[in-house]
Structure 1
Amino acid sequence: MFDPTVFDNLKTVLEGAVYDLDLDGVIIVTDRNDLMDLAHFSRTYKIAFQLREYGTDSVTCTITLQTKLEHIAGELLAQNHLKPGCVLEIAFNMSIKQSETTCFRIKEVLTNIWGSNRIIRQTLAHEYQGERNEYDNLITIEFDRLIDEGNVDDLQEMIPYVIESLRRLQPFYGM
């Protein structure tokens, strides 16, 4: 029997919270990745989902949990100077047409939900095809610190914020 790492414990909590919402019919999980990069010795867990009520033409949320070599080594080797933990990122992906006004309003909505101390970044991309004015908007909410097992409650309490964000972003989808 092995002692699970911080990453393993947080991944289990996150996965359970998301799949509970899927079982309750609130969301539908659309993708899941559990990756180990042996070249860089890192682990990444991603789970993507949408609100069930809006179907496939809706905002997608992807929650990413990642740990790197120095965090894993610090934990497994009990190195006090290397803090074990994980990086958490929440991303929303949606299609928009009016980039300037829509992006400004999206930032306002997410700042009201997540607070002004969060880094909210929007990255627009589109394939050049003549007159097409549709953009893929990748919105990330970044936390500028590592999380660990002391943040398990925070991780579970974050899920309602994610659901509220999906609901409040949906009117901007395709706008």
Structure 2
Amino acid sequence: MFDPTIYDNLKTVLEGALYEKDFAGAILVTQRRDLVDLATLEREFIMGFQERDHETSQAVDEETPQLKGNVVAQISLRAPLHELAGEILELQAVEELGCELIIAYRCTIFDPERFIPPVVTMLEQLWDGRLLIVPILSYPYGLQKKQFSVEFQCSFQRKIGELQIPDFPLLVQLTIDSLTQINRLYPQL
């Protein structure tokens, strides 16, 4: 038997918080990945989800969840080898160890100059400036009509440890609130 690592504990709490929101009908979990990179021995847990559309779901079919908007949210939790080794081999104090948590929002747009600034402003306000928000823009070369993929990568720029576990319900709720706000901005921009 082994003791779970900080990563294992954070992953379990994060996964539970997201599935609770899924079961409550607020979101639909569309992706779950639990990865181990054998080259770097890094662990990564990813859950992606979208906002549910309750009005359309009830009108169409209660068994088939309808999604609201085109924005996908994703929460990633990463533990690099030096963090895992530091904990398992007791090389560092537990308080110094942790994981990287990244929140991302993805969608396809046609006018980045009009869409990106208001979304960044809204995210900064909703999260009270606690996140570093980096919009990443890409597009396929050669298309007549430019269709851009945009990803808003949001990070805390610090390690997340077991002391932050009580904050996970709020973190998940703010992530969903941000998703809802981006979906509201999406058709207008």
TM-score with structure 2 setting the length: 0.87
Map of 2:76 onto structure 1:
64
Q: Aligned partners of 1:139 and 1:67: how far apart in 2?
A: 21
Does the CA-based 8 Å contact 2:27-2:49 persist in structure 1? yes
Map of 1:133 onto structure 2:
146
Per-residue CA deviations over 1:72-100 (Å, capped at 9, x if unaligned) read 01101111268321000000001111111
SS in 1 for 2:74: strand
Does the CA-based 8 Å contact 1:95-1:173 persist in structure 2? no
Q: Aligned partners of 1:120 and 1:114: how far apart in 2?
A: 10
Residue 62 of structure 2 is aligned to residue 50 of structure 1: no
Amino acid at match of 1:141: C
Q: Which moved more, 1:116-125 or 1:161-170?
A: 116-125
Q: Aligned partners of 1:109 and 1:131: how far apart in 2?
A: 31
Q: Aligned partners of 2:76 and 2:143: how far apart in 1?
A: 34
Identity of aligned residues (%): 34
Q: Aligned partners of 2:131 and 2:69: how far apart in 1?
A: 27
Q: Aligned partners of 2:126 and 2:109: how far apart in 1?
A: 20
Q: Aligned partners of 1:155 and 1:21: how far apart in 2?
A: 12
Amino acid at match of 2:184: P
Does the CA-based 8 Å contact 1:50-1:61 persist in structure 2? yes
Per-residue CA deviations over 1:110-155 (Å, capped at 9, x if unaligned) read 1111122421010111112432122111001111110111110122
Deviation >4 Å, runs of 4+: none
Map of 1:170 onto structure 2:
183
Post-superposition shift, 1:57?
4.7
Q: Aligned partners of 1:164 and 1:29: how far apart in 2?
A: 15
Q: Which moved more, 1:108-117 or 1:161-170?
A: 108-117
Residue 90 of structure 2 is aligned to residue 87 of structure 1: no
Q: How does 1:1-175 map to 2 (within 5 A)?
A: 1-53=1-53, 55=67, 57-80=69-92, 83-173=96-186, 175=189
TM-score with structure 1 setting the length: 0.94
Amino acid at match of 2:111: Q
Q: Aligned partners of 2:100 and 2:90: how far apart in 1?
A: 19
Q: Aligned pairs, how many?
A: 175
SS in 1 for 2:107: strand
